Structure 1
Amino acid sequence: MTGLRADRVVRRIGDKVVVDGVTLSLSPGETVGLLGPNGSGKSTLLRLLAGVLAPSAGAVTLDGRTLTEVGRRATARRIASVEQHADTRTELTVRDIVALGRIPHRRAWTPPTAADAEAVTEALRRTGLTDRAGQSWHTLSGGERQRTQIARALAQEPRELLLDEPTNHLDIQHQLDLLDLVASLPVTTVIALHDLNLASMYCDRLLVLRDGRAVTEGTPAEVLTPALIEQVYGVGAEVTHDPGHPVIRFLRPAAGDGSPPKRSVTSAASTAP
């Protein structure tokens, strides 16, 4: 068995089950989207896949071995993750932050190599941060901080990339630019998203969670149906099929006067080509 896999993983916090028996197998190079409302277990599942959290039951394996057997350093060379929020009180530049991605590739107390410097420079270029390399982290906008964290992950040169709501704080152009970049990378990607249209456009496969459990899994065309959206999110929607992916148009609730629901496109990305 090759690649990253979660096999019936469970994560408990006290008496609460946050992730409940979820299985996910990843094919090399594919982009898998995690969908579900707040509190559905997306972030916790990503942290289990990254080895940041240990499952209460079940197992996360890499090439058939549990992450414990693989070891932290070897896991960090293979798997990079970008969480929703990151901050530091230390005065660091953008390049300093991105260079943190090279730590798994170096022995303790050894200086950076030419390969490290090249990986950092390339990550900055790919994320459009070359001109920000010397700028302080604390002066960046929310979107620039997010791109810096993604550049750090790219500098790690992973084979598996885990992203938790990476389009938060980004305007529409940068959302599309970022997901274009992610989709072009020669890595296996798991990405948690709230925007169903972005998930439809950029993901090969979707896993939908609710209350910590897997509701359904499949291609965007198979998964993103009006019935599924109503069941999981509690909202009405119309789904049409543009070439290549479904387009979701959400329906505003009825006004209470007997009039039908009003149509409203809630995601600007749904109008993108």
Structure 2
Amino acid sequence: MTASGLAAHRVSKQLGGGLVLDGVSLSPAAGSTVGVLGPNGSGKSTLLRVLANVTPPSSGRVTMDGQDITEFGRKALARRVAVVEQHSDTQIPLTVRDVVGLGRVPHRRAWLSASAEDETAVHEALEQTGMTAKADQRWQTLSGGERQRVQIARALAQRPSELLLDEPTNHLDVQHQFELLDLLSGLPATSVIALHDLNLAATYCDDILVLDGGVVVAAGPPDDVLTESLIMQVYNVKAEVTTSPEGHPHVRFIRS
């Protein structure tokens, strides 16, 4: 555990009269990749929104470097934290380059044009996500997977110290799933990623936090967390957990 970076301290959240998060704590090591797992409705997206200060916790608190996150201005926080949500859309006729350039807004003063540093950050983000060839294409013409990669490029252009990603592999084919997680796990930023795929989490995450009904039921390295008994408890599915040739847990679901 570390006091630096983004952390949640016994966070609870009520929505629609129900408790969506119940006393959740999370304090990632700097530069690590943390996977947040759990079935639909377990609280994964809500936790990310609370961490991003998009929605306030009902109790508990979120801190950045030990300081309450609510004490940061929106622009100051956006220089540190980038968010990629599951769904995003716009009716404004923007190009891919325009969308990625939005990631530089927190670093610019109002009304100032893009600097050389801004242009470099956008160029690098497009390259990292394989979207350079589509930089001048309209956002509305992209496929779902391409839009997802553009939103990730926007977040990378922000050059944050903390990345929060909600199901970033949705809409991506297998190749781009691997490329994206290779990229994220190699960044110096701390990444908190909500995932459905247990094997992707086992391969790419340093630590895993498992939610069920808004409660943390397990947390720690994939080897310790991804057990057959936990998968049955949380997902109500029988599974066989073995070790892959690369040394990661490998989950094979068994049809009953």
- Structure 1-normalised TM-score? 0.91
Name 1:147's counterpart in structure 2.
149
- Per-residue displacement from partner, 1:162-183 (whole Å, max 9, x unpaired)? 1100000111111111111111
Letter of the 1:153 counterpart = A
Name 2:115's counterpart in structure 1.
113
Name 1:186's counterpart in structure 2.
188
CA distance in 1 between counterparts of 2:16 and 2:87 reads: 24
Name 1:38's counterpart in structure 2.
40
Task: Choose which of 164, 168, 173 in structure 2 pairs with 1:166.
Answer: 168
Q: Secondary structure at the match of 1:168?
A: coil
User: How far off its partner does 1:24 sit?
Assistant: 0.4
Instruction: Tell which structure's C-alpha radius of gyration is larger.
Output: 1
Q: Which runs of 5+ in 1 are unaligned?
A: 254-273
User: How far off its partner does 1:244 sit?
Assistant: 2.3
User: How far off its partner does 1:15 sit?
Assistant: 1.3
CA distance in 2 between counterparts of 1:246 and 1:94 reads: 37
Aligned residues between the structures: 253
Structure 2 residue 254 is the aligned partner of structure 1 residue 251: yes
Letter of the 1:170 counterpart = L
Letter of the 1:81 counterpart = V
Q: Which runs of 5+ in 2 are unaligned?
A: none
Letter of the 1:167 counterpart = T
User: How far off its partner does 1:14 sit?
Assistant: 3.4
- 4+ residue segments displaced more than 2 Å: none
Letter of the 1:64 counterpart = G
CA distance in 2 between counterparts of 1:39 and 1:191 reads: 16
Structure 2 residue 195 is the aligned partner of structure 1 residue 196: no
Task: Choose which of 123, 126, 129 in structure 1 pairs with 2:131.
Answer: 129
State the identity %: 64
User: How far off its partner does 1:110 sit?
Assistant: 1.6
CA distance in 2 between counterparts of 1:147 and 1:14 reads: 32
CA distance in 1 between counterparts of 2:248 and 2:221 reads: 9
- Structure 2-normalised TM-score? 0.97
Letter of the 2:223 counterpart = A
Task: Choose which of 86, 98, 101 in structure 1 pairs with 2:100.
Answer: 98
Name 1:257's counterpart in structure 2.
none
Q: Secondary structure at the match of 2:251?
A: strand
Structure 2 residue 83 is the aligned partner of structure 1 residue 70: no
CA distance in 2 between counterparts of 1:14 and 1:128 reads: 40
